[in-house]
Amino acid sequence: MDSILQFFSTLLLALLILCVFLYHIKRPTTSKIKTCSIPQAGGAWPIIGHPHHLVLVLSFWEISRGCFTVHDKVFSTRPSTLASRLLGYNNAMFGFGPYGPYWHEMRKIVTIELLSNHRLDMLKHVCTLEVKTAFRELFNLWVRKDLMLNVTLRMVAGKRFHGAGVDCEEGEVQSFEKVMRDFSYLFGVFVLSDTVPFLGWLDVNGYERAMKKTAKKLDAMMGRLLEEHKQKRLLGGEAKGEQDFMDVMLTIIEDAGIAGFDADTINKATCLNLILAGSDATMIHLTWTLALLLNNQHVLRKAQEELNFHVGKERCVDESDETLRLYPPAPIISLRAAMEDCTLSTGYHIPTGTCLMDKGVGGQNFEFIPFGSARRSCPGISLALQLVHLTLASFLHGFEVAKPSNDGVDMAESPGLATLKATPLEVILTPRLNSELYGQ
């Protein structure tokens, strides 16, 4: 009996010492100055406090500006998540990869070789031809977002998935679109192991299993595209004047000697990154733009009047930013993480490893950053804006747009990495130009 009492007394004393220890750790000491405090959030549990996974959520543009200018290098890396490891070729996909030599090299290649003004000028005809082709098959292409997928795939891999002159079977196209939707959804879900790593073995909701399955399908599809390009090079079919991005990557990686990943992984990861970003983000933005215009008919009429004045109705367009603020394609710019300790202008001390989340990407008064900022800004800004302007102007110039009913367009959003509309956008189209212009 005495031994049992002694055991519980010792246990109670140990718990008391632990509570005192935790209290002193969490309580700021008088020797620490105010500028070295960590921002405290409400809702903490007794004694334990918050789960020890620090995330700094930015709600004011002044603090965001400090993080992305003064402390830009500190917050230039990405945290390693289950999605980036399983779906992003173990962080080889540069858009989600950590800051370092590999990221530097890949961003330089993408910016200088793939998305440079010279390269985009060489492939400019792809955008123009696909937009014109889309108008001939508009009801099918626009609703199923085939236009942007065609443009992106032709530029990245020289493929066409929809409409006349397709390069793939219908089953392969449907599988590719399905796996891309799965990728977008799975990359945006909350995974328990990212916050509480030691519980990763539970695989709550089966996300890890789904990610592995999706990654395997994506890798197989990208592997087939890469093998086709290799075979084309062996047979001497590489076109010097017009190369797609995968051709360019094959040439560059042979001479670059990039450390960290094998050449095939780098090529597949980079090209997949460009396909996903180029097709989904652009089409999502255009869908939200059209939805906003349908709900604001006076703005739609004004846009078409300006097109009538500057272009007229005797020819087609040869070559809207507010939508990016209201409905950015990525509702929360991908997480960043602190590579070292830093102190913000507000006096808050941010420890190494703290994740950074900017929930105010939409901004106010047109102070928005839909393409990210500083070192991690999107290298495809120029291409995205060119494609959005050309497609939207051509669409509004070529067709009268109306709602099927007097009700407003449902603006509900769906969860995931990209801000998809929760319900399909339904529109009634009426040609505005001479019928001959749609067949050019």
Which residues line the annotated binding site for heme?
378
Residues 6+ apart with CB under 8 A from 366: 321, 322, 325
Residues 6+ apart with CB under 8 A from 318: 128
58 beta partners? 358
| Angle (CA) 226 230 231, round 5° | 115
Whose structure tokens read 């094998």? 262
Q: How many of the other CB atoms lie within 10 Å of CB of 189?
A: 16
Q: How many of the other CB atoms lie within 10 Å of CB of 272?
A: 25
401 beta partners? 429
Alpha-carbon distance of 422 to 327, in angstroms, equals 13
Known binding-site residues equal: 378
Alpha-carbon distance of 195 to 185, in angstroms, equals 19
Q: Which of 138, 159, 137 has the alpha carbon at shortest distance from 150?
A: 159
Residue count of the chain = 440
CB environment 209-220: b (16+ within 10 A), e (fewer): ebbeebbebbbe
Ramachandran region, residue 293 (left: φ > 0; alpha: ψ -120 to 50; beta: rest): alpha
Alpha-carbon distance of 132 to 152, in angstroms, equals 15
What spatial distance separates the first Cα and last Cα of the chain, rounded to whole Å? 97
Q: Which of 154, 156, 139 has the alpha carbon at shortest distance from 249?
A: 156
Alpha-carbon distance of 220 to 212, in angstroms, equals 12
Please tell me the number of Cα atoms within 13 Å of 163 on its side-chain side: 25
Q: Which of 226, 232, 231 has the alpha carbon at shortest distance from 270?
A: 226
Whose structure tokens read 């709900």? 295
Q: Which of 252, 242, 246 has the alpha carbon at shortest distance from 230?
A: 246
